[in-house]
């Protein structure tokens, strides 16, 4: 597997997990079982009138990736760039696709925002919407105390750029002011980066990330729950709907990360891990997205079952973003002073 396989696996795997969980996001386990049988949901079912529909998790992931690419282009061409500020601008473009008006002027250039299928509300999180609506300038941190999972579910693309932990945590903080909300996001991107760039197993990546970042202020809740998950893993406890509910529903960042990691750590294959990650009473699309990103980074995009891959909404857009993440930093630097106008038009540096 090369780096592109892992990047594609991560982003497409996350989107597939999001789409698998979307129909059951607001159902508890009893209701899921009543609707889909004792195995729970194992295939795409209609959500928002579409089979294979992605939700706000994947939409915001795409705009985060766009922001990182635009920041890269700007940094390379002008040598000065505040990365979280550029990601913020991209997230405000997402806000406009949701038919909300930002408090500051937002430029609707670049290719991503012109994808009309993104202009659709998929149960966007209140915290993200209210924080983005309120923000007066790019890069300004959210003035709230939320640690909802609405930040961690979008930061995976930070794993493929330098400073993964920092950019993930700082871009999470644009909407989520509680330290657990943004520090868990930083840790998640750091874990994904170790898996992608160093081919670490998830267990190795998690252990190393905790050793490096686990002692930082604001990491207490995340470290505690992830140490519990590692204990379960070493003891051979496998996640079930009931055990996942005991860990928490995944509505807050550290729980969503813990559920995603537990399901990915114990998975026998990508498909099984993702099914486990969405069948519980909690926030199924976000835990599905997080588990899918981890499993996709580990197994690559070829491991995604065809029956999911073929019906995934926005598949081409997600693949293009993955390819651009892999190639733009290579191609754009390669011109050494001569800038690639096609790349600049797709990712204007603002």
Question: Based on CB atoms, which residue is closest to Mg ion, 150 or 300?
Answer: 150
Complex with Mg ion: residue 55 or 76, whichever CB lies closer: 55
User: Based on CB atoms, which residue is closest to Mg ion, 132 or 202?
Assistant: 132
Residue 56 lies near Mg ion (rule: CB under 5 A) = yes
Stretch that binds Mg ion, among 28-36, 51-59, 110-118, 302-310 (CB under 5 A): 51-59
Given 66, 200, 285, 326, the residue binding Mg ion (CB under 5 A): 285
283 touches Mg ion by CB under 5 A: no
DSSP conformational letter for 148: B
CB 258 within 8 A of CB 226: yes
> Which two tokens mark 58?
């994947």
Distance in angstroms (rounded) separating the CA atoms of residues 260 and 256: 6
- Give residue for tokens 């919407």: 129
Number of residues this chain uses to bind Mg ion (CB under 5 A): 4
Stretch that binds Mg ion, among 33-41, 55-63, 77-85, 141-149 (CB under 5 A): 55-63
Tell which one of 6, 55, 295, 329 touches Mg ion (CB under 5 A). Answer: 55
Q: Which is nearer to Mg ion, 55 or 120 (CB)?
A: 55
Q: Residue 5, interface with Mg ion (CB under 5 A)?
A: no
Which stretch in 32-40, 47-55, 128-136, 273-281 sits in contact with Mg ion by CB under 5 A? 47-55
Q: CA–CA separation, 260 vs 245, rounded Å? A: 13
The residue among 289, 246, 280 whose CA lies nearest residue 28 is 280
Binders in 84-123 for Mg ion, by CB under 5 A: none
Question: Which of the stretches 44-52, 238-246, 258-266, 281-289 binds Mg ion when contact is defined by CB under 5 A?
Answer: 281-289
Contacts within 8 Å (CB) and 24+ apart, 184-187? 184/147, 184/152, 184/219, 184/221, 184/222, 184/253, 184/254, 184/257, 185/151, 185/152, 185/155, 185/253, 186/155, 186/213, 187/213, 187/214, 187/219, 187/222, 187/226, 187/257
- Tell me: does residue 57 bind Mg ion (CB under 5 A): yes
Q: Is 214 helix (H, G, I), strand (E, B) or coil?
A: coil
Q: Which residues contribute to the site for Mg ion (CB under 5 A)?
A: 55-57, 285
């Amino acid at each position: 597997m090369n780096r592109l396989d892992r990047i594609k696996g991560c982003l497409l795997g996350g989107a597939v997990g999001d789409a698998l969980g979307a129909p059951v996001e607001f159902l508890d386990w009893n209701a899921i079982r009543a609707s889909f049988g004792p195995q729970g949901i194992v295939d795409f079912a209609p959500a928002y009138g579409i089979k294979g529909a992605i939700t706000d998790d994947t939409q915001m992931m795409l705009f985060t990736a766009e922001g990182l690419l635009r920041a890269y282009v700007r940094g390379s061409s002008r040598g000065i760039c505040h990365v979280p500020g550029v990601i913020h601008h991209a997230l405000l473009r997402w806000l406009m696709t949701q038919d909300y008006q930002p408090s500051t002027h937002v430029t609707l250039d670049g290719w991503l925002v012109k994808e009309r299928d993104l202009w659709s509300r998929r149960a966007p999180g209140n915290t993200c919407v209210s924080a983005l609506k309120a923000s007066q300038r790019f890069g300004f941190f959210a003035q709230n105390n939320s640690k909802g999972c609405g930040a961690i579910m979008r930061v995976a693309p930070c794993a493929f750029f330098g400073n993964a932990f920092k950019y993930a945590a700082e871009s999470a903080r644009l909407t989520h002011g509680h330290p657990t909300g943004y520090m868990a996001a930083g840790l998640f991107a750091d874990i994904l980066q170790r898996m992608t760039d160093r081919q670490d197993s998830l267990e190795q990546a998690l252990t190393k990330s905790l050793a490096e970042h686990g002692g930082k202020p604001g990491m207490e809740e995340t470290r505690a729950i992830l140490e519990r998950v590692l204990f379960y893993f070493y003891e051979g406890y496998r996640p079930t709907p009931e055990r996942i509910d005991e860990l928490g529903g995944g509505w807050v960042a550290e729980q969503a990360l813990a559920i995603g990691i537990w399901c990915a750590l114990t998975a026998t294959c990508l498909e099984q891990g993702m099914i486990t990650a969405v069948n519980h009473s909690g926030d199924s699309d976000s835990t599905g997205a997080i588990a899918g990103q981890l499993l996709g980074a580990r197994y690559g995009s070829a491991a995604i079952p065809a029956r999911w891959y073929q019906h995934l909404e926005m598949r081409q857009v997600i693949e293009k973003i993955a390819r651009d993440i892999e190639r733009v930093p290579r191609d754009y630097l390669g011109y050494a002073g001569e800038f690639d106008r096609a790349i600049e038009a797709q990712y204007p540096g603002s």
